[in-house]
Amino acid sequence: MPTTVLIVDDELGIQTTLSGVLSDEGYITLTTGSGEAAVELYRERRPDVVFLDIWLPDRDGLETLQALRELDPAAAVIMMSGHGTASTAVKAIKMGAFDYIEKPLSYNDAVEAVLGALSYRESVYQDSSLLESLTRTATKLEAVPELAPPPPLSILEETDEPQRTLAAGTVLYGLGLHSGNRTGMTLQPLPVDSGIHFVSLPTNTYLPAHIGSVAETDYATTLSRGGHSIKTVEHLLSALRARGVTNLLIKVHGEIPVLDGSALEFCEALDDAGVIDQAGPCRELVIDRVYEVEGEGGKRLTIEPADRFSARYELSYPPPIGDQVCDFVLSSYEDYRREIAPARTFGFVRDLSMMSELGLATGGRLDNCILVGDDDIINTELRFDDEFARHKVLDIIGDLYLLGYPIRGRVTARLTGHKTNIALLREIAAGG
């Protein structure tokens, strides 16, 4: 069956132009300038994708979106606006819109948005748990807080780099490392000056990617609000920081997919979706003095002023790991993708029973972590001789992005982990 696209906009020019673009691509189009008519057309024709304007003469676009979701919880709706705000964009996406794009629409914007929405719709129907959660939340939406970027710090500076977001939404699936549950995640673009934000499904609980949301740091970094949590955010945040993505909405079921235990597949997903520059400068948190956190057993983490971000990690374990040092300068995304992103998380056989009792690492399999025995690596060949230290640098980059801005400074770490990383962030925030 040919794909059908419904275009809902009270501007005849938008209807005509968008309909022409999509018809050229082989899609059947339906058009209307009325929200009420759009609901009836959807009821009768069940289009595969909907372009829906925020501002309509007879009913609000968000009200129309809600009505469409009540008809079809898996409706693939792309919201449009020529003068929307960041809070409007997030509200639309939280209410179930697949994407939010700004006018004037380019040919590529329209085509890519349809392709992304079709992929999303297909993935929903292939995953019964995701469809069930969408059905539960179609008529029960949490009040949406006003979206604002993280509070500014006195050591922020504008850079020559632009803010960035994704060119189109994308969907990833996998297991949660610690929950062991199948988990789905969508990454969706946000307007300039929005920041990075999580939404926990199926409750639609909003959690900003900020240290104020951090609840746990044992074995992974967990965000929590209102009794709802999102686990293992550090690998995804690490890839976002390296790629320069500053504005993004992440909707996820409880835990970020672990994938292969590294950040490489997140990089691949970002590359496939495309990353675009936005009309606003990126602000960087410039370290102005030395900040330091110490812990038991010789743990020590410092950050000091520098011209760019870099991290040195010193690791010391008994064989088969031994002493390792990784010294990495984040001079480009390509360097990160090649040298840091492939480094996988690791765990020790001797700790598995304890972690199981704590309800952790139940998703740990032979293909998503490095499993270390008493004398040897049990399940894989290492990608780097110092892969363990490189993964610690990967974690540092991700955890330190929870201040809401990229950091410019030189990190030196010895034997530290997520708890120490977050403690250092709190020191920086308190001194900013």
- Which tens digits make up the pLDDT trace of 13-26? 999 999 999 999 99
Among 337, 321, 301, smallest CA distance to 410 is for 301
State how far the alpha carbon of 372 is from the alpha carbons of 175, 286, 347, in Å.
20, 38, 6
Q: What is the mean pLDDT of residues 167-172?
A: 81
Instruction: Order across the sheet with 4-8: list the strands.
Output: 28-32, 4-8, 49-53, 77-81, 99-102
Q: How far apart are CA 129 and CA 131, in angstroms?
A: 5
**Secondary structure class of 378 (helix, strand, coil):** coil
Q: Mean pLDDT throughout 259-278?
A: 94
Question: What's the sign of the alpha-carbon dihedral 83, 85, 91, 92?
Answer: positive
Ramachandran category for residue 359: left, alpha or beta (phi over 0 → left; psi -120 to 50 → alpha):
left
pTM of the entire structure? 0.69
Tell whether the model's pLDDT for residue 360 goes beyond 50: no
Instruction: Name the packing angle between helices 387-399 and 234-243 (round to 10°).
Output: 80
Annotated catalytic residue, options 178, 197, 391, 418: 418
Query: Residue 248 CB: number of other CB atoms within 10 A?
Result: 23
pLDDT, residue 357, reads 42
The residue assigned the tokens 């005849």 is 12
Structural domains of the chain, with CATH = 4-137 (3.40.50.2300), 156-283 (3.30.230.20), 286-431 (3.30.1700.10)
Measured between alpha carbons, how far is residue 423 from residues 105, 175, 214, 283, 419 in Å?
A: 44, 28, 11, 22, 6
Q: Which helix (H) or strand (E) element contains residue 102? A: strand 99-102
In this predicted model, which residue has the larger pLDDT, 179 or 358? Answer: 179
DSSP string, 147-213: P-PPPP-TTEEEEEEEEEEESS-EEEEEE-TTT--EEEEEEEE--TT--EEEEETTTTEEEESSGGG
Q: What pLDDT sits at residue 142?
A: 40
Which one-letter DSSP state was computed for residue 96? T
pLDDT of 136 reads 55
Q: What percent of the chain has pLDDT over 70?
A: 85
Most confident of 42-46, 79-83, 113-117, 127-131: 42-46
Higher pLDDT among residues 46 and 133, named by residue: 46
Rounded to whole angstroms, the Cα distance separating 327 from 296 reads: 23
What's the confidence (pLDDT) of residue 55? 79
The pLDDT score that the predictor gives to residue 322 is 94
> Which position has the token pair 């929307």?
84
Is 263's pLDDT higher than 50?
yes
| Helices and strands (H and E) in the chain: how many | 12, 23
pLDDT of residue 424: 96
pLDDT for position 247: 93
Comparing 204 with 385, which gets the higher pLDDT?
Answer: 385
What average pLDDT does the segment 339-368 reach? 66
Contact indicator for 250, 187 with CB cutoff of 8 Å: yes
Give the pLDDT of residue 219.
80
- 197 classed as catalytic: no
Q: Which two tokens stand for residue 19?
A: 């309909």
- Whole-number average pLDDT of the chain: 85
pLDDT for res 416: 96
Range from 91-105, 109-123, 253-267, 308-322 carrying the lowest mean pLDDT: 91-105
> Which of 314, 394, 388 is closest to 347 using CA atoms?
388
Q: Which tens digit of pLDDT belongs to each residue from 45-62?
A: 999 999 999 878 777 788
Average pLDDT over residues 318-346: 96
CB contact at 8 A, 364 and 260 = no
Residue 179 has pLDDT above 80, yes or no: no
Distance CA 52, CA 118 (A): 15
* Confidence check: pLDDT of 422 > 80: yes
Looking at the DSSP bridge assignments, the partners of residue 4 are 28
Cα 112 from Cα 104, distance rounded (Å): 15
Give the pLDDT confidence score for residue 84 in this predicted structure: 56
Confidence at 101, pLDDT banded by 50, 70, 90: confident
Whether pLDDT at 104 is above 90: no
Cα dihedral 280, 115, 24, 72 sign: negative
pLDDT value at 11 more than 70: yes
Q: What integer pLDDT is reported at residue 140 of this predicted model?
A: 44
* AA letter at 173: Y
pLDDT given for residue 269 in this prediction:
93
